[in-house]
Structure 1
Amino acid sequence: MIRIVRIIICFLSILLGGFIYIIFRTEKLIMFDWFEYLNLSEEINIIRNFKNVYSFPNWFIYNLPDGLWIFSYTAISLEIWKHSIIKQNIFWIFSIPIIAVLSEFFQVFKIVPGTFDFTDMIFYLLGTFSACFISIKIIFKTKKHEKL
């Protein structure tokens, strides 16, 4: 049951990041073409009206979604591998966080399109380390219960 709750939290972080994009980001993103194709434009416009009610800082709009997605990926990966980081799974657990950080660096050298953003790096690392920290807490809690 607790494992299901942890998995639900991971998917909720994906959804929260997605809703932040839907509400606050430009309609030039390809996902808005998908919404139009699926005849969801009216529903999306209703959701987007939320931005007229509240204001949020730039880091919330532009950096938090990436951190939430990295957190979710890392946490789900650790959940799949039962919170064990070993030689056989380390690549799979950390591949996306490493790609995210490297892509940010590659933007400096124009290898990857975009603009380098140090705050993105912070949120990538926070998402990854948060998932690892929670995983460590789960391991210690499990071992503590096994000793009893």
Structure 2
Amino acid sequence: MFKPLELMGLLDDVRALRSTHWFPPIETVPEWIVYSLPDGMWLLSYMFAMEFIWNNDGKHIRIFFVWAMPAAIIAHEFSQLMGLASGTWDILDLTSYSIAIIIYLLTKKTIIMTQSMSLKLICSCIVAAVFVIGAASCTTSSLTSKYQQALDKQLQQNGASNSNQSPTSN
């Protein structure tokens, strides 16, 4: 994720920005913001992107591309609930997807159907900014924390099992 920033010479700036106190420590952020909100933001961004891309290519193809991902994501979430797909069912994930869909439905006529290209550009930039900020601030920190916890647990289990074993003497 950070390779393009490194190639543009912006990685040090991003690291400095991330080390400031603009964002609270990840431990103090509610779990739904860390784990579920980015999913909803991704979905909302996807839906608007597909609406912008396929807006002039006919109703049926636009509807297919806009709604294919939400349908697949919700089906996958329910498949997790029934044990048919890997992963963990989470009602908060489903809620974040539902909120993204509601926001899309409430705002699409105002934003997408306007003839003003400047309004479309402004709205596109806002959606993109929210997407990037949310994904970068939540996902990276949560994954690092999640993997670190799993690694710590594995190390503790291995340490406990190794200490219970008695060395054999030759």
TM-score (norm 2): 0.50
Distance apart, 1:129 and its partner CA: 2.4
Given the alignment of the two structures, is residue 71 of structure 1 paired with residue 22 of structure 2, yes or no?
A: no
Mapped pair 1:125 → 2:110: no
The structure with more radius of gyration? 2
Equivalent positions of 1:1-148 (< 5 A) are: 47=18, 52=25, 55-82=28-55, 86-138=59-111, 141-142=114-115
Structure 1 SS opposite 2:60 = coil
Q: Which runs of 5+ in 1 are unaligned?
A: 1-30, 144-148
Cα distance in structure 1, aligned partners of 2:67 and 2:35: 22
1:85 Cα offset (Å): 7.7
RMSD: 3.5
Structure 1 residue 48 displacement after superposition? 7.7
- The answer for unaligned runs of 5 or more in structure 2 is 117-170
**CA–CA distance in structure 2, aligned partners of residues 53 and 61 of structure 1:** 8
- 137 and 113 in structure 1: CA distance in 2 versus 1, 3 angstrom threshold: same
How far off its partner does 1:132 sit?
Answer: 2.8
Q: Work out the number of aligned pairs and report it.
A: 106
